[in-house]
Amino acid sequence: MTLAVRYTSARTLDTAPAETRSPGPGEVELAPAYVGICGTDLHIFHGDMDARVAAPVVLGHEMSGRVVRVGPDVEGWQPGDAVTVMPLRWDGTCPACTSGHRHVCQNLDFIGIDSPGAMQQRWTVPAATLVRLPGSLPLDRAALVEPTAVAVHDVGRARVREGERVVVVGGGPVGVLIALVARAAGADVRVVEPSTHRRLLAEELGLTAWDPAAEDVPELVRQWTGDAGADVAFEVSGAAGGVDTAVEVLGVRGRLCLVAIHPRPREVNLHRFFWRELTLVGARLYDRSDFEQAVTLVADGTIPAERLISKVVPLTEAPSAFEALEAGGDVMKILVDCGNDTTGA
């Protein structure tokens, strides 16, 4: 019998025995090694997604692990292969899919939210969701491939170009990853973040970070850009003040990329959009090319994944890890160790 971390009701998680399902046609059984806890997992934990999540459900979609068994008709994979999972299952028939946008399928199954996720010792998934990892990449670092793929997609949606000035509002894990990916694309980047711990970490990674509580961010942007304004702003904070800042720092024909999930409608300065001919772009999830690029960025050290991992806890301590993340403080990314890393990493 294996163990799994399940969401059962608002602010309630348990660690319970889970049935291992043999892989069917087109499926593989995985042994998850590490699973990251992300902001969406916290939304579920708070009960904010009860209308969508059918409790009890196993959480987790940021993962790394190894293939254990392959089902019938599965080719190209064998036990021991190091993998991560792109946790999307689309129907292939809706208007979004048929127009080439399967990652935002109108009937999307986001694995780990709409169906059982990775925070368990054995996990059966469609082979089509697997993304191969290089054997040299430690599995703890590989657990950050999924959020890095989010950042790759966001930077692509905003069409960040070399030499552009970029402001990232929100210096949590995804915000810092966006800043690093944008920097790798040749942009000059600033991060806006009220947490001292997160600002210091961003600065240790070579990024410039500003405190919106103590500094006039729009004025800093004006000085930095010679009164031109930023070319791109990413709203990653999820706060009303973050929206205001992201809009205000943009220059003429600047692009605002909305990344954060806002739980309620926000007021937006539409006059600013009119006056400066701004563009608003939504960014959600990723496609396979984003994932493959993310693997490369983590494997070659462009993304220093080990610096973003604040703590690793065993599967049985996952519920307390959610509470630690909720409390904030000196925490960036917490990984859950499912007990299946045999690499010694």
Residues marked active site are found at: 40, 43
Burial zone of 116 (CB within 10 Å; 0-12 exposed, 13-18 middle, 19+ buried): buried
Tokens for 219, please give them: 């004025």
Smallest CA-to-CA distance from 120 within 10, 12, 13, 11 is with 13
Task: With H, G, I as helix, E, B as strand and everything else as coil, classify residue 307.
Answer: helix
Tokens for 293, please give them: 């690029």
Beta bridge partners of 89: 109
Judge contact between 299 and 292, C-beta under 8 A: no
How far, in Å, CA of 178 to CA of 150, rounded? Answer: 8
Judge contact between 32 and 101, C-beta under 8 A: no
Cβ neighbours of residue 51 closer than 8 Å, sequence gap 6 or more: none
Whether the bond into 56 is cis, omega within 30 of 0:
yes
